[in-house]
Every structure is written in C-alpha cells, then in structure tokens.
C-alpha cells in the first residue's frame, strides 16, 4: 500500500472511530492532557485549534482530531469546519455536511462556503442549487475570498443551475472585490510571517545569552 493510500486509510479509520462515537467526548477527556486541564481552568478553543493544526502538519492525526473535537464541543466554529474537512478526507461526506451545517448556521464564512459546495456538488447531501447560492452569498457577504471568487465565476459564465445569469459587469465587480481581498490577505500573511520571525529571533537571542552566561 502506498504512503498516500495508507494515510487516507488511517484518516478514514480515525474519523469513523472517533467522530461518530456516542462516547467521543468522554474518551477525549480521558485521553488528552489538554482536555483534562479543562476541569481546573478554562480552555481556549483557539489555542486548541492551533495545537491541532500543528499536530495535523506533523501527521499526528489522532491527536489533531481529539483537539479539533474538544474545540468543536466548545462551539468553536473553525474547529467544526476542520472536522468537516477531515470527514471529507475520510470519504464520509454526510458526516462532513453535519459539521459544515453546524458552523454555517452560526455564521462561520468558511462553513457556509463548504456547505454551499456540498449542495452544489451533491456531496453528502442532495443537490440543491438554491441553497447552494444562498449559502455562498452569505459567505461572500462576509468577504470570504473563495466564496467571492465563486460568485464572480458564476456571473462570468452563468451558474447555480441557471439561478445566476451571465452578467459581465457583476463578474468584474466581484473580481475587483476578490483582488482587494487577496491583497489584504497577502498583507496579513506577511505581517504574521514577520511576527513569527521576530519571535524566533528573540528566542535565539535569549538562548545565546543563556549559553554565554553558563560558560
């Protein structure tokens, strides 16, 4: 079995055994030290998701899913979207739609966009162009770039089963909006990169100073 197929298999097993379990929340509390700390101190769901993202980057799928689920149980919508994406990777589209719907109804732009795509393609749910358009417009209204691009393309060539008529002026307007959003995201990404580099430099300087004192 190739590494790619092996990873896909592991992800599917993980989702089936963890996300669909009735006793999942209890098992998470018992299995993860971060969750155990919640009994004595508030848990920051944003930090849980950051830890989950890091674990996912290192292919620690079991730990990532536990952390995402703990944050999702705290009603943190980015974690719900992340669980939906994991379910898609595990070829469990119905499970994914459940998470996307949970996030979308709470106003999460990424969840709304993912739910729109599910309705548009019929992945995990019956195709419904009207609902797809409804949710993608909600997402685009929150300046979520992928949704804005989808709306622009719909106006450029017609889309959503004829619900969006070709309108090149509208397409250009949405293209312009997408271009502005891209610049904003690029600026934010550069600022995050500079911040991370500054933190790394500070840590290196502190480590060097400590080593000098110990000599």
Whole-model pTM over 0.85: no
Tell me what the pLDDT averaged over the chain comes to.
84
- Residue 3 burial (CB count, 10 A): 7
CB 55 within 8 A of CB 64: yes
Domain ranges of the chain: 1-106
pLDDT digits 0-9 by tens, 25-52: 444 444 444 444 444 567 899 999 999 9
DSSP state of 38: G
Q: What is the CATH number of domain 1-106?
A: 1.25.40
Q: Determine the pLDDT at residue 7.
A: 44
How far apart (Å, rounded) are the C-alpha atoms in residues 6 and 4? 5
pLDDT digits 0-9 by tens, 87-130: 999 999 999 999 999 999 999 999 999 999 999 999 999 999 99
| Three-class DSSP category at 164 | strand
159 — phi, psi (to 5°)?
A: -170, 180
């Amino acid at each position: 079995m190739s590494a790619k197929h092996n990873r896909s298999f592991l992800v599917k097993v993980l989702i089936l055994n963890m996300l669909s379990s009735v006793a999942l929340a209890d098992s998470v509390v018992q299995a993860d030290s971060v969750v155990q700390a919640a009994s004595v101190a508030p848990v920051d769901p944003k930090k849980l998701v950051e830890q989950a993202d890091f674990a996912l980057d290192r292919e620690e799928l079991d730990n990532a899913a536990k952390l995402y689920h703990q944050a999702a149980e705290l009603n943190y919508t980015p974690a719900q979207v992340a669980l939906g994406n994991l379910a898609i990777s595990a070829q469990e589209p119905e499970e994914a739609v459940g998470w996307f719907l949970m996030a979308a109804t709470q106003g999460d732009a990424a969840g709304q966009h993912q739910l729109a795509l599910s309705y548009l393609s019929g992945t995990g749910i019956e195709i419904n162009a009207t609902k797809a358009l409804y949710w993608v417009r909600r997402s685009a209204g929150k300046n979520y770039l992928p949704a804005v691009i989808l709306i622009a393309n719909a106006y450029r060539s017609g889309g959503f089963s004829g619900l969006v008529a070709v309108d090149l002026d509208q397409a250009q307007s949405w293209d312009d909006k997408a271009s502005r959003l891209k610049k904003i995201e690029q600026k934010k990404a550069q600022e995050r990169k500079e911040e991370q580099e500054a933190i790394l430099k500070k840590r290196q300087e502190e480590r060097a100073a400590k080593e000098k004192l110990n000599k």
